[in-house]
């Protein structure tokens, strides 16, 4: 297994700590969770950078990276639903898109990397989840919710853009 793939896999290690910490309502726990989440999110950039720089792009990495990204995004979103911070149906929309793309990818002979819309979706999700995790004052409620809904919209749009050209090519 390549170094970039090990870094991708290491992102999984932060998820249990993130989930545990989200159930602790203290500001200190939330700041710790935010740091865990952001470090894990930064490794998403790092593994891709190293894979390209070291010429270690692999089929395993193309499969593993988006799978780990989905777990890193969906795990805190599910806790945030349980805590009443965001609606379950919106997270279901995100989950449905991710499962649809993952299911579609399984049937492909080669796995393509993320396009610009997929990258925008990921960045918007990271921003939204970071804001939802951070112990911000109530004056931040509207911007946080706007960031969340932008990420939901970009999730849907990126899924449609990802699948539509494939349907035309068939």
Contacts of 33 (CB under 8 A, 6+ apart): 17, 18, 21, 22, 76, 133
Cα–Cα distance between 120 and 57 in angstroms, integer? 21
pLDDT band at 147 (very low <50, low <70, confident <90, very high): very high
CA 95 distance to own-chain centroid:
11
Measure the CA–CA gap between 32 and 165, rounded to whole angstroms.
Answer: 41
Q: CATH second-level architecture of 3-163?
A: Up-down Bundle (1.20)
The contacts found for 20-23 with CB under 8 angstroms, 24 or more apart, are 22/76, 22/79, 22/80, 22/83, 22/133, 23/79, 23/83
Q: Is pLDDT above 60 for 170?
A: no
Has residue 104 got a pLDDT over 90? no
Q: What is the pTM of this model?
A: 0.86
Q: Is 90 exceeded by the pLDDT of residue 109?
A: no
The Cα angle at residue 108 between residues 63 and 105, in degrees rounded to 5: 45
Domain ranges of the chain: 3-163
Burial class (CB in 10 A: 0-12, 13-18, 19+), 150: middle
- pLDDT of 166 > 60? The answer is no
């Amino acid at each position: 297994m390549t170094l970039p793939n090990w870094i991708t896999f290491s992102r999984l290690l932060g998820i249990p700590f993130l989930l545990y910490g989200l159930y602790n309502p203290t500001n200190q726990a939330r700041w710790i969770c935010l740091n865990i989440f952001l470090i894990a999110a930064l490794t998403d950039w790092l593994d891709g950078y190293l894979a390209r720089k070291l010429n270690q792009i692999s089929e395993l990495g193309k499969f593993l990276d988006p799978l780990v990204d989905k777990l890193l995004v969906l795990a805190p979103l599910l806790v945030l639903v349980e805590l009443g911070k965001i609606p379950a149906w919106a997270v279901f929309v995100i989950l449905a898109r991710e499962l649809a793309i993952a299911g579609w990818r399984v049937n492909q002979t080669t796995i393509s990397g993320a396009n610009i819309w997929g990258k925008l979706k990921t960045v918007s999700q990271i921003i939204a989840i970071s804001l939802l995790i951070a112990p911000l004052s109530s004056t931040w409620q509207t911007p946080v919710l706007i960031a969340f809904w932008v990420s939901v919209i970009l999730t849907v749009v990126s899924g449609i853009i990802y699948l539509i050209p494939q349907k035309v090519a068939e």
